[in-house]
């Protein structure tokens, strides 16, 4: 690992996006969100995805400077066809609109179809938390998850995120896939030459998958197999939990926006599938006094953090704490990046300059 100043990393990614034709403001927002993933230690959703973004832009599947189509609008809701826009910057703009609606009416919701990969879901929920709101973000993805008792993928990793603020930067921030792991993690294992650990995925025969390269190829070519739903890693019968959550995400993102869902959401060889999102913000003061809520949040998070750890564990975490600490360390010491990923990024920039 090498450590790159956060701004330097953002500048390089933004420069690549702009050279590919993405407008400056969209490029800056997109780079900021991608680098935020690496800064938090979520490498699977960070700059290692730049090549897929670049390939998607070159192929015209990911578009900059798009004006999304508003399909339906009320005082507190919005339905949008993204028209293939850059998922990262589009989602940031959408969450800003949702926050504005919540600021005026207490609640704001938005369902989006025909978008692209949007990075880490927690980035957007934390935007709401910073405005003394509760934030919810969902997205469907290409069909990678296997329903309970099945051996064929029929839903995505379908992440969901939720954030709630305390005082002084205290923040509960849950950001999770509804499958046991994500494809990005499998891609990292492939790059590192590692095997898939038991309990994460099954092959086309429904047996435990071990080889990342063959598993990813089977996923791309729809030969069968997929990632297990959350809760299925020990006993497949318990996978109904992640399976049910994944279908819920499809309903709120795709069915509410009129987008594609389930097996129809498919990646191409070069880039991620067109996907659907859902954003919601709830103003805390529609429930109770904001300061009292945040004081109780502080008490809850402190109680969780100060729990005595089990034997063999060093400490107890709550959702978002590890990422917040990693992000603070990245601001101070630089963002940790695998040397080969940094070199690939630099080479990508050079190749674009020469083309």
CA 29 to CA 253: how far, in whole Å? 22
Residues 6+ apart with CB under 8 A from 227: 144, 145, 146, 153, 157, 179, 180, 181, 182, 183, 186, 200, 201
C-alpha Rg value of the chain to the nearest Å:
20
**pLDDT at site 280:** 98
Structure-model confidence comparison of residues 53 and 188, the more confident one: 53
- For residue 237, give the DSSP letter: G
In the chain, where the domains are located? 2-286
- Considering only the top CATH level, what class is 2-286? alpha beta
Least confident among 40-54, 262-276, 327-341: 262-276
The distance of Cα 38 from the centroid of its chain, to the nearest Å, equals 12
> Which residue shows structure tokens 């020990």?
234
Each residue's pLDDT tens digit, 103-128? 999 999 999 999 999 999 999 999 99
Question: What residues have CB less than 8 Å from 108, skipping those under 6 apart?
Answer: 76, 77, 78, 97, 98, 99, 100, 101, 102, 279, 280, 281
What whole-number distance in Å separates Cα of residue 93 and Cα of residue 115? 13
Provide the pLDDT confidence category of residue 232 given band limits of 50, 70 and 90. Answer: confident
pLDDT in tens, 285-297: 999 999 999 999 9
Average pLDDT, the chain: 94
Give the whole-angstrom CA distance, residue 256 versus residue 51: 31
pTM for this structure? 0.93
């Amino acid at each position: 690992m090498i450590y790159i100043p956060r701004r330097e990393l953002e500048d390089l990614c933004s420069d690549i996006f702009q050279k590919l034709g993405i407008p400056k403001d969209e490029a800056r927002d997109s780079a900021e969100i991608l680098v935020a993933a690496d800064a938090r230690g979520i490498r699977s959703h960070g700059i290692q995805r730049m090549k897929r973004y670049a390939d998607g832009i070159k192929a015209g599947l990911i578009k900059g400077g798009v004006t999304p189509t508003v399909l339906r609008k009320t005082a507190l809701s919005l339905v949008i066809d993204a028209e293939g826009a850059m998922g990262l910057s589009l989602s940031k703009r959408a969450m800003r609109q949702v926050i504005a609606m919540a600021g005026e009416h207490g609640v704001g919701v938005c369902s989006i179809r025909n978008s692209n990969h949007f990075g880490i879901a927690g980035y957007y929920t934390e935007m709401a938390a910073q405005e003394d709101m509760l934030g919810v973000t969902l997205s469907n993805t290409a069909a990678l998850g296997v329903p309970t008792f099945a051996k064929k993928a029929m839903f995505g990793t379908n992440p969901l995120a939720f954030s709630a603020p305390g005082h002084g930067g205290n923040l509960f921030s849950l950001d999770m896939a509804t499958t046991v792991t994500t494809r990005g993690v499998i891609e990292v294992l492939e790059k590192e030459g590692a095997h898939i650990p038991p309990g994460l995925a099954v092959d086309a025969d429904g047996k435990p998958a071990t080889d990342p390269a063959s598993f990813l190829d089977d996923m791309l070519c729809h030969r069968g197999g997929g990632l297990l739903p959350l809760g299925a890693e020990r006993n497949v019968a318990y996978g109904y939990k992640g399976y049910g959550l994944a279908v819920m995400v499809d309903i709120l993102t795709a069915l509410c926006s009129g987008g594609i869902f389930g097996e129809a959401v498919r990646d191409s060889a070069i880039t991620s599938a067109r996907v659907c999102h859902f954003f919601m913000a709830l103003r805390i003061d529609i429930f109770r006094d904001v300061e009292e809520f945040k004081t109780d949040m502080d008490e809850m998070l402190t109680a969780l953090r100060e729990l005595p750890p089990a034997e063999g564990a060093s400490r107890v975490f709550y959702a978002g704490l590890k990422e917040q600490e990693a992000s603070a360390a990245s601001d101070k010491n630089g963002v940790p990046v695998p040397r080969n990923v940094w070199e690939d990024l630099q080479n990508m920039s050079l190749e674009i300059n020469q083309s």
